[in-house]
Chains A and B, each alone.
Chain A
Amino acid sequence: MKVIKIDKKNWAEGLKRLADKFPLFGPVQKDEFHIFKELHKDELPDLSLQNTRLSPKSVVYPQSETLFEYTLDEKQADHHILKEIDKDYLPRAVVGIRPCDAKAFLLVKRNFDTPEYKDPYWIKAYQAVTLIGYACNTPCSNCFCTTAGCGPFHEEGLDVLLVDAADHYLAQIMSEKGEKFITAAGWDTSAGANDLREQVQTLKQAAETKITARVSTDKLKDKDTTALFEASFWEDVAFACINCGTCTYACPTCWCFDIQDETFGSSGIRIRNWDSCMYPLFTHHGSGHNPRDMKMQRVRQRFMHKLKYYVDKYANGIQCVGCGRCIRLCPVNIDIRKVCDLMNSFES
């Protein structure tokens, strides 16, 4: 694995060269918050932030996405037939994604790319991106990534990991896509040296020691699902919840969606939108029956999915990367770390 040094003086110039070749996405400030968006020419990703309020999952999985189009005009030969539309899956790069958000794509991939069914929209969009990660020298105060299968310098899912080292970036190249990206930017790839790797290691250790919040997940797998489901603590956990759904929208690993048709005059589109298990309509049957009509059931579903069902289904850890967004943004201070510990230490 090669580590190169990019002088910050050459940063903007390199990105400009890249922007001529393919679209770049990055964090920029919009009103009070940072968001990930496509950078227009001469716009640089703002790397001064800790992390964006919403995760960059929308770059691969837009909040609202057209699946098909149709016409209801009976004069057209193909009326009432759904048709695929052309979509842009040309290469693009996300610059400045945090390691947790990049790892999140790998967790979500297990849902969209299965042996039985492949979601073409998610898979093609994911294949199109090069992910240029930005290591967290100063992690957020409620991050708990180091005990959630991730870390401030975590490499999984990234093509390049950038590390801020005062007047330069250290760029650790981890894939062919990453190599291409660095070459296209014109940054000197011959400057790799062993001491740079050591520098990365030193900064990594410094960052990891700053993360003091932890979760215990070791016993989740062996818990009995139905006993955990019926545990008495769920009413307490859910008591303050107002079912606003913020946690699900902010979460980089939440993937649920709804499918709707929208008609304008005689033509229309079938779209999918992010949905949320926090809403009663999510599971409301046509008959009126609703298996999760109480908020406790919905709160329980969210945590059981992330911390038990996912763990059992994929045998690959929890469906959480420890980014801390749901903790920071929850209006009533529900804390997934506490819920995780309750579940992990539960004795029936």
Chain B
Amino acid sequence: MQNPYLPYPVRIEEIITETEDKNLKTFKLVFINPEDEEKFKYQAGQFAELSVAGKGEIPIGIASSPTEKGFLMFTVNKVGLVTSCLHNMKAGDIMGVRGPLGNWYPWDIMEGKNVVIIGGGFAFTTLRSSIIYMLDPANRPKFKDIHVIYGARTPGMLLYRDELAEWEKRDDINMHITVDATDDPNWKYNIGFVPTITDQKAPPGNPDTYAIVCGPPIMIKFTQPVLDTLDYAHDHIIMSLEMRMKCGIGICGRCNIGKEYVCKDGPVFTLDQLNNMPKEY
């Protein structure tokens, strides 16, 4: 019987400080046993439990894309015991990864459709995974127009800035980067909150267009009315939820919303599904 609680051992290959407040770091992890990478087949939108011996485990969205081979990538906000320990670790250190866990964005349903990605703050991790996945030459023809609306408080708080700049240059993806405010005279992108920029830049809703929305509760709260105005059907609005988790496999009992476990039945739900679930998240 395979033990679903046993993490795969990994080595930290690289740690990148992402944001100017130094509170977000990206960890590039390499499997110590190469055969484990084969077993860890994932899709954009899934998460994993990062395991630090002596500290515990944390559920974190996978920021690397299934099209990127040889490593996994996670961007971690420093908030508690395990994340603080992770932030103090260095390249070469040994830790564990358990997964992949949860469901993923509905790539089969979105095939042949327009995809609008709306992200805010540090909830951009599985969205990065999704963008890299869709832009892969083997996958790009499967999707029509791709729009990305991504905002942070300041330019220095945006994740993956080098990649954002690269994507800006491409003509097969429409980038709408924004910040809440900045005094940087060289800032050449948008200024404004994500809901406002969504209102200005997002294509109107139709049966051929799906929106993936990931961000802090306040952003989601104000983006939803905008999407309603733009005529997005609720089964075309896809969201990814966060919850305190332990097992990650629907057994330990804490991350439920009604009868659904966010770890196993989610974290990805359509707004239509969420409308029919208790408001407890």
Contact = CB atoms under 8 A, between A and B. Distances in A.
Interface of A: 67-68, 70, 72, 79-82, 84, 111-112, 114, 116-120, 123-124, 225-226, 229-230, 255-261, 263, 268, 270, 272, 275, 277, 282-287, 289, 291-292, 297, 301, 304-305, 308-310, 312-313
B251 A225 contact: no
B278 A226 contact: yes
Contact of B6 (A84, A258, A313): A84
Given A82-B96, A261-B53, A312-B259, A297 B5 contact: no
Interface stretch (B136-144, B180-188, B198-206, B240-248): B240-248
Interface in B44-58: 51-58
Interface string B1-23: 11111110100000000000000
B225 interface: no
Contacts of A261: 53-56
Given A82-B51, A225-B278, A116 B264 contact: yes
B276 interface: yes
B250 A81 contact: no
Contacts of B58: 286
Contacts of B277: 225-226
A309 B259 contact: yes
A260 B280 contact: no
Nearest to A71: B53
A267 to B, nearest CB: 9
Interface string B246-275: 110111111111110000100000000000
Contacts of B77: 286
B126 interface: no
Contact of A259 (B2, B94, B247): B247
Chain B's interface: helix, strand, loop or mixed, by majority?
A: loop
Contact of B280 (A111, A124, A270, A292): A292
Contact of B278 (A70, A229, A258, A285): A229
A272 B247 CA distance: 10
A337 B37 CA distance: 51
B79 A309 contact: no
A310 B7 CA distance: 29
Contact of B252 (A82, A275, A287, A289): A275
10 contacts: A70-B54, A80-B95, A114-B250, A225-B258, A226-B276, A268-B54, A275-B254, A283-B243, A285-B242, A289-B217
Interface in B88-141: 93-96
Contacts of A292: 280
Given A229-B279, A285-B244, 14 more contacts: A67-B5, A72-B54, A80-B96, A81-B32, A111-B253, A114-B250, A119-B251, A123-B1, A230-B278, A255-B251, A256-B253, A275-B254, A286-B77, A309-B258
Contact of B244 (A84, A284, A305): A284
B254 A111 contact: no
Nearest to A287: B79
B189 interface: no
A8 B95 CA distance: 58
Contact of B254 (A79, A123, A226, A256): A256
A98 B95 CA distance: 45
B243 A285 contact: yes
Nearest to B247: A259
A85 to B, nearest CB: 11
